[in-house]
Amino acid sequence: MHAIEIRAPGGPEMLQWVECPMPQPAANEVLIKVAAAGVNRADILQRQGNYPPPEDAGDILGMEVAGEIAAVGAAVKRWKIGDRICALISGGGYAEYAKAPAEQCLPIPKQLSFIEAAGLPECLITVWTNIFETGHLQPGEAVLVHGGSSGIGTTAIQMVKAYGANVFVTAGSKEKCEACRKLGADLAINYKREDFVAAIERETQKRGVDVVLDMIGGDYVARNLALLTPQGRHVSIAVQGGKSATIDLWAIMRKRLTLTGSTLRHRSRTEKAQLMRRVEEKAWPWVMEDKVKPLIYKVFPVKNAAEAHKALESGSHIGKIVLEVLAMR
């Protein structure tokens, strides 16, 4: 088969389309004929040499794919050859074929294309884990999501509204804010023009929010904490603005706040399987009912993965960037 290889750690130009061995599924795995693969910031970090993949993942990029099952392991019961699925994988998605644990696959609804389905697994699972399970969001509460126009942000808006809660987001342009409002955001703040703390205090009459999903870190953390209601929850999932923060411990104690965070890729296979089961039970019905749908910004042929990485790094995207691997219908 062919796949995208990283020649050496560095810029997008280090990605190249090469011939390589086809993966062989183990007893409890499936082999996927990949139609499309999602592009994520973790891929960029790995390309730069800053985010080593799990030991069993190999060197090929790509943590989410959609396609048809080409082969099944001897112990696989649920899936059969020809099934349309999307999957969360530890690596290997930028390729014509990828293997996935059977328990980390989800059926693609008829109304979704492979391109759309490839933009679902990582975002859907990240949002569910961090806002609903770790953040314990309740109907009627309010959540602040930074990076509202990102793949995770656009997915979070839809999921929070489907759940019956309020969602405020930050984004970096008028166009991005408008896109977030169209998806259902109750308030979209252009952080380049307005202080998000002041905007949310004004919107909520100084009540604030119950949950913050933060992918910025740095000096945003203290500002986020100032917005949290008593017993509020702050969940960190990335540190694009810096991995260190100075915080007021007395404020945390006084308001009984919870500060936590997570990553997804390096969790154990058992943890991922359990998480996928909960996501399929609790969140997948929103996808089936068209209440949550990936917003696709741009599609690149897989051979142009370098251009896809440049687009993601530019920060101009609204929604997901996806690689088309095979033109399957």
What count of Cα atoms within 13 Å lies in the side-chain half-sphere of residue 9?
7
Contact 159, 292 (CB under 8 A): yes
Strands (DSSP E) contained in the chain are 2-6, 15-19, 29-38, 64-72, 84-88, 97-101, 105-107, 142-145, 166-171, 187-190, 209-214, 228-236, 258-261, 296-301, 320-324
CA dist 235 and 215 (Å) reads: 9
Amino acid, single-letter form, for residue 168? F
Q: How far, in Å, CA of 160 to CA of 143, rounded? A: 8
Distance CA 87, CA 85 (A): 7
CATH topology for 2-120+265-324 is Quinone Oxidoreductase; Chain A, domain 1 (3.90.180)
Superfamily of segment(s) 123-261: NAD(P)-binding Rossmann-like Domain (3.40.50.720)
- Rounded CA-CA distance 121/179 in Å is 21
Q: Tens place of pLDDT for every residue, the chain, 329 residues? A: 999 999 999 999 999 999 999 999 999 999 999 999 999 999 999 999 999 888 878 889 999 999 999 999 999 999 999 999 999 999 999 999 999 999 999 999 999 999 999 999 999 999 999 999 999 999 999 999 999 999 999 999 999 999 999 999 999 999 999 999 999 999 999 999 999 999 999 999 999 999 999 999 999 999 999 999 999 999 999 998 889 999 999 999 999 999 999 988 888 889 999 999 999 999 999 999 999 999 999 999 999 999 999 999 999 999 999 999 986 54
Distance of CA 201 to the CA centre of its chain: 28
Q: How much is the pTM?
A: 0.94
Task: Report the first-to-last Cα separation within the chain, whole angstroms.
Answer: 20
d(CA 125, CA 280): 10
Going from N- to C-terminal start, the domains of the chain cover: 2-120+265-324, 123-261
Residue 315 identity (one-letter amino acid): G
